[in-house]
Structure 1
Amino acid sequence: MRFAEVIGDPIAHSKSPLIHDFWIRALGLRAEYRAVHVKAADLADYFRSRRLDSEWAGCNVTMPHKEAVLAHVDEADELAARLNAANTIVRRPDGLLVAGNTDVDGVAEPLSRHRIGDYPDHVATYVQIIGAGGAARAAVLGAVKAGYGDFDIFNRSPARADVLAQLAGSPFGKGHPLESLGPVRNPTDGASEQRYSHILINATSMGMHGENPVPVDLSAYYPDTIVFDMVYSPLETSLLAQAVAHGLRTIDGLEMLIGQAAIAFERFFGAAPPRDRDPELRQLLLREAK
């Protein structure tokens, strides 16, 4: 029976098996999707054994292995190479392993659906990304794919933020210390004349498990702001709760998780998942989270 897996250390928190099993059942496929706890020291043995198994379609990769797995594959697609991180490994029929990264599309898809429209005196939309690791790199390229071009990167290490800002390819992109996070303003800004819009993306583990919240006051952001938290445990982080309290639009980690999983599913099993059943899948994930 054809099967795929998700690997990580730890792995018990992963929602990928629920998502993929839902789609497998919905399509009536003869396939399985499993979660496997793989430690860093065991990666080589894991891929060596899976490479020899013709029923193994591949695996998703979660923390902390997204960079390390590149040493165990034969090829990396353009995105995985550019990000120096992979979240999807596919086994080709000849046994070669190809690394890919679907996190970029996981960011781009919800950003494309939750658009900020133009209005009089609208100058630009600033994408403010918190973090400078692999998830932040995917957030930058995902936002670029969704059509955005102005970036500010906030991180505890401004030097790392500067490096990530260069990836955006924008002359306006630059790094900032985390404590300076806040909305971009013109001196002539007013409540009824918005000039800058904002998309705020948390691409760190801050807020995970309800701990270490993102240090930002959202009360000064305009109502058209979109707050996107890539953390999905808990689903409503303190950042998203604050955004809702101020009437801002939100994108939670489940939207990204389902979007990137859909691409991996098609690569593993050769069938497009039934995205028309996303509301049902989301309710399943919410029930399991309680």
Structure 2
Amino acid sequence: MMISGKARLAGVMGWPVGHSRSPRLHGYWLEKHGIDGAYLPLAVRPDDLQDALRALPKLGFRGCNLTVPHKEAAMRIVDRVDETARRIGAINTVIVEDDGTLSGRNTDAPGFIANLLQGAPGLALDGASAFVLGAGGAARGVIAGLIEAGVVEIKLANRSPDKTNALVRAFEPYVVPVPWDERADRLDDIDLLVNTTSLGMQGQPALDLPLDGLAEAAVVTDIVYAPLETDLLARAKARGNRTVDGLGMLLHQAVPGFAAWFGLVPEVTEELRRHVLAR
């Protein structure tokens, strides 16, 4: 599709940025809806992040996504940050407002919940209990989303106790710390198990977590999407648990940004999933 001089522009800033699936994802929606616009990969060094973000309105951009390593640093550059992003401590979406100021959002939390509910229809989160593995930036987004959805208790286990304790303080009273060595013994009374670590990703060892104590009714999800079915999800599915892969989180978290930049709320469909996986 040809774009004009009036095209709406957005992109993704990262260093590096070549691995990002976001241009393929947003490009699909632009093509599908015949929108005069473009979404570009923007390789920005950390030292250049402030200049790059401040240049967005001058270059006619409506905004951008942020990926590693810019999500935390960008919070100190934009003009305003929404409450969810403040709680998570990072932003992944920047909106250029009509007056040229920059607003920062974090769409990982709603993206995670939307993917979970689409992949496990009927899952009741209000009043539920969950177990989250990992205490990095992704875990912060997942925990914030679970709390907003009504989950009342979240067990948290991570190999670094310091990171675990930091999240316990940030999200008290909802988060309960679990020593990493005791993770397999604390699965018996949860409704949802979430892996936010890189264990199970291509090139990484599998997550070492026996599932013998997990209730068959519990849902298991992994934010990793390469491979689409991790060892954790394969083992959970084999024992009868419902599973949700991580690709949908990437797709759903992109919806609010696309709507703000291009003026249309897109849908996350099976056709979109196949398109993004076919890169």
* CA deviation string 1:137-183 (max 9, x = no partner): 11111112222111111111223213313444436x31123232125
What corresponds to 1:285 in structure 2?
Answer: 276
The offset of 1:185, in angstroms, is: 6.5
Contact conserved, 2:10 with 2:61, CA < 8 A, in 1? Answer: yes
In structure 2, relative to structure 1, the CA distance for the partners of 1:7 and 1:208 (3 Å cut) is farther
Check if 1:161 corresponds to 2:164.
yes
Q: Return the letter of the residue paired with 1:255.
A: G
Residue of structure 2 equivalent to 1:203: 196
Distance 1:158 1:224, change over 3 A: same
Cα distance in 1 for partners of 2:273, 2:154 equals 30
Q: Write the mapping of 1:91-106 to structure 2, written as runs, cut at 5 A.
A: 91-106=96-111
CA distance in 1, matches of 2:144, 2:172: 10
Following the alignment from structure 1 to structure 2, what is the Cα–Cα distance between the partners of residues 227 and 210? Answer: 22
- Tell me how far 1:286 sits from its aligned partner: 2.5
1:69 equivalenced with 2:74 (yes/no): yes
Match of 2:229 in 1: 236
2:97 maps to amino acid = R
1:117 is displaced (CA, Å) by 5.6
| 2:135 is the alignment partner of 1:132 | yes
**Preserved CA contact (<8 Å) 1:8 1:65:** yes
Query: Which 5+ residue runs of structure 2 have no aligned equivalent?
Result: 1-6
Give me the whole-angstrom Cα distance separating, in 1, the residues matched to 2:171 and 2:193: 15
Supply the AA of the counterpart residue of 1:232: Y
**What is the total number of aligned residue pairs between the two structures?**
270
Q: Name the SS of the counterpart of 1:151 in structure 2.
A: strand
Deviations along 1:84-131, one digit per CA (max 9) or x if unpaired, are: 10000111122111110000101121334424469xxxxx74311111
Corresponding residue for residue 147 of structure 1: 150
Task: Kindly indicate whether the alpha-carbon contact (under 8 Å) linking 2:108 and 2:253 is maintained by their aligned counterparts in 1.
Answer: yes
Counterpart-to-counterpart distance in 1, 2:257 and 2:221: 22
Scaled by the length of structure 1, what TM-score is found?
0.86
Kindly tell me: are residues 80 and 116 of structure 1, through their superposed partners in 2, closer, same or farther at Cα, counting changes over 3 Å? closer
Cα deviations across residues 34-69 of structure 1 (Å, max 9, x unaligned)?
Answer: 11222212212312322312x201111112211011
Q: Partner of 2:208: helix, strand, or coil?
A: coil
Structure 1 residues 225, 90: CA separation in 2 closer, same or farther (over 3 Å shift)?
same
User: Once superposed, what is the RMSD of the aligned Cα atoms?
Assistant: 2.1
Matched, 1:181 2:183: yes
Distance 1:13 1:239, change over 3 A: farther
Q: Percent identity?
A: 37
Matches of 1:221 and 1:185, distance apart in 2: 5
Partner secondary structure for residue 129 of structure 2: strand
The answer to whether the 8 A contact 1:86-1:100 is kept is yes
Contact residue 154 and residue 177 of structure 1 kept, 8 A: yes
Whole-Å separation in 2 of the counterparts to 1:129 and 1:257? 18
**1:7 alignment partner in structure 2:** 13
Q: Which amino acid is the alignment partner of residue 285 of structure 1?
A: V
Sort the Cα spacing of 1:86 and 1:185 in 2 relative to 1 into closer, same or farther, 3 A.
Answer: closer
Mapped pair 1:48 → 2:47: no
State the SS of the aligned residue for 2:191.
strand
Q: Unaligned 5+ residue runs, structure 1?
A: 119-123, 187-195
For the 8 Å contact 1:162–1:176, the answer to whether it is kept is no
* Equivalent in 84, 89, 92 of residue 89 of structure 2: 84
The alpha-carbon distance between structure 1 residues 204 and 88, as it changes in their structure 2 partners (threshold 3 A), is: same
